[in-house]
Amino acid sequence: MFRNREIRQFALLFCGITIVSTILGFIIKPAAGILILSTCAAFGIAFFLFTKARYKSITQISEQINLVLHNTDHLFISNSDEGELSILQNEITKMTLRIREQNEALKKEKIYLADSLADIAHQLRTPLTSANLILSLLKNNPDENERKTLLWDIQKLFVQMDWLITSLLKLSRLDAGIVNFKMEPLDVEALIKDSLHPFHISMDLHNITQQVNISDGLIIHGDFGWLSEAIQNILKNCIESTGDNGTIKIVCEENILFTEITLHDSGPGFKKEDLPYLFERFYRGKNTSTAGYGIGLALCKTIITRQGGTITAKNHPQGGAIFSIRFSK
């Protein structure tokens, strides 16, 4: 306690005042001197005991903070009566809980980042291995037609890797919160037409019929470019699932609660065990022969949910898969 310079200065000042007052009291009258001395002594003892008790509480708080800093399992619990120290202890408890929550979040992010990097490395390793193998075959193959076929195969692999890396970068930007969506009124019909445009040739080649039914004047709020990309990822999944001579139905309608966009393909639908994991990153389903990297639907969900929408996927009662995108009004 007396290591505090202010306490030492106060003690010296108090002793000086006590001595002077006592001397003056004895000069006036011995009884007055004794009364002043007794009063000052009582006040000094009371102040000493009170200050010692407060310093004891401060020492306990200091020890608790030290435990928090060096022991992650320790929780600061306030046990003081009402007063400034109790308020301080309560604030430290809140700070401790907040720091612990942040530490847990950082640990989870670290684990997630490590898992993501491992998944990314695994996803890239497969096409890179195939590309290296094709290059070896290309180097040792004199046949011109076979060399053209191999060059076409390797070009497709590089296109796939470019799409994968681009999608992962977009997911990373979304996770980091550095994407600013333009929340503006969007015409749903124009959004669907823009989303379908890149797939017209592919759908014609595979003889896939598209049936589009859009209610008049449908408006949602969001970012046109990002929502168009999200719908394109769903369409890509539907086209791959439908195969040749299939059908993709797009229905857009609204009610008093939300505006809904549904995409229904005529493919085989999803396996029951895959349904809970469709939008998880790098999940490709129980069937390991499934094409793709498990990125498209995860990116799609992130884009839609970050703009206040929801997306679900299930098997249609009449067959095929159906995706439902909803935006509340």
Q: Strand, coil or helix: what is 313?
A: strand
The mean per-residue pLDDT over the stretch 271-297 comes to 74
User: For position 82, what pLDDT does the model report?
Assistant: 54
pLDDT value at 50 more than 60 = yes
pLDDT in tens, 74-113: 555 555 555 666 777 777 777 777 877 887 878 877 776 6
CATH of the domain at 231: 3.30.565.10
Does 195 lie in the same domain as 138? no
Least confident of 97-101, 114-118, 176-180, 211-215: 114-118
Asked if residue 223 and residue 190 are part of one domain, the reply reads yes
Are both 146 and 239 inside the same structural domain? Answer: no
Average pLDDT rounded to a whole number, residues 138-156? 79
Whether 172 and 263 share a structural domain: no
Is it the case that residue 150 has pLDDT exceeding 70?
yes
Comparing 219 with 100, the larger pLDDT belongs to 219
Where helices occur in the chain by DSSP H, the ranges are 5-28, 30-70, 84-139, 144-176, 188-196, 200-205, 224-242, 296-305
**77: helix, strand or coil:** coil
Does residue 193 carry a pLDDT above 60?
Answer: yes
In a domain, 85, yes or no: no
CB 286 within 8 A of CB 294: no
| Weakest mean pLDDT among 119-128, 141-150, 165-174 | 119-128
* Residue range of the domain that includes 231: 184-328
Is 188 part of a structural domain of the chain?
A: yes
* Residue 319 DSSP class: S
- pLDDT over 70 (residue 29): yes
The helix/strand/coil state of 310 is strand
Chain-wide mean pLDDT for the chain?
Answer: 82
Residue at a domain's end among 176, 205, 221: 176
Whether 194 and 322 map to the same domain: the answer is: yes
Q: Which residue has the higher pLDDT, 151 or 5?
A: 151
Residue 252, exposed/middle/buried by CB under 10 A (0-12, 13-18, 19+)?
A: buried
Tell me if the pTM is above 0.85.
no
**Domain end position, chosen among 74, 99, 124:** 74
Residue 209 lies in a domain: yes
Mean pLDDT value across residues 5-10: 74
